[in-house]
Chains A and B, each alone.
Chain A
Amino acid sequence: MEKASELKVETRKCGGKTVVLTIHGVLDAHTSSQLERRIFKLFDSGVHKIVADLSGVKYISSAGAGVLISGMQEASEKGGDFVFVKPSTSVKELFDLLGLASMFKSFPSVSEAIAHFTGR
Chain B
Amino acid sequence: MKERKVELVVSNMTENLATVRKFVMDTLADAGVSEKVVRKIILAVDEAVTNIIRHAYEEFSKGTRTIDIKLCTYPARKCVEVTLHDSGKEFNPDEVKTPNMDEHIRLRKKYGLGIFLIRKVMDEVNYMFRTGEENILRMVKYLENDEEKEGDKRDARD
Mostly helix, strand, loop or mixed at chain B's interface? helix
CB-CB under 8 A for A26 and B113, given A61-B43, A61-B50: no
CB-CB under 8 A for A29 and B17, given A63-B110, A65-B113, A97-B120: yes
> How many A-B residue contacts, CB cutoff 8 Å?
77
Among B43, B50, B101, B109, the residue within 8 A (CB) of A94 is B43
Of A3-11, A12-20, A44-52, the segment with at least 4 beta carbons within 8 Å of chain B is A3-11
Chain B interface residue number, banded: 20 to 34
Nearest chain B residue, comparing its CB with the CB of A58: B21
Q: How many chain-A residues does the 8 Å CB contact rule pick out?
A: 30
B47, CB-defined interface residue at 8 Å:
yes
B148, CB-defined interface residue at 8 Å:
no
Nearest chain B residue, comparing its CB with the CB of A69: B105
Q: Measuring CB to CB, which residues of chain B are less than 8 angstroms from any residue of chain A?
A: 14-19, 21-22, 39, 42-43, 46-47, 50, 53-54, 101, 104-106, 108-111, 113-114, 116-117, 120-121
- Whether the pair B14, A29 counts as a contact (CB closer than 8 A) is yes
A24 to B64, CA, bound (A): 31
A59, CB-defined interface residue at 8 Å:
yes
- Whether the pair B54, A29 counts as a contact (CB closer than 8 A) is yes
Q: Measuring CB to CB, which residues of chain A are less than 8 angstroms from any residue of chain B?
A: 1-6, 26, 28-30, 59, 61-63, 65-67, 69-70, 73-74, 89-90, 93-94, 97-100, 103
CB-CB under 8 A for A99 and B101, given A73-B106, A73-B108: yes
Among B21, B101, B110, the residue within 8 A (CB) of A100 is B101
Which residue, of A6, A28, A65, A70, has the highest number of chain B Cβ atoms within 10 A?
A28
Q: Which residues of B contact A89 (CB under 8 A)?
A: 39
CB-CB under 8 A for A70 and B108, given A3-B18, A28-B50: yes
- Whether the pair B111, A66 counts as a contact (CB closer than 8 A) is yes
- Whether the pair B101, A62 counts as a contact (CB closer than 8 A) is no
A61 to B113, CA, bound (A): 9
Given contacts A30-B15, A62-B50, 4 further A-B contacts (CB under 8 A): A2-B22, A62-B114, A67-B110, A103-B105
Q: Which residues of B contact A30 (CB under 8 A)?
A: 14-15, 17-18
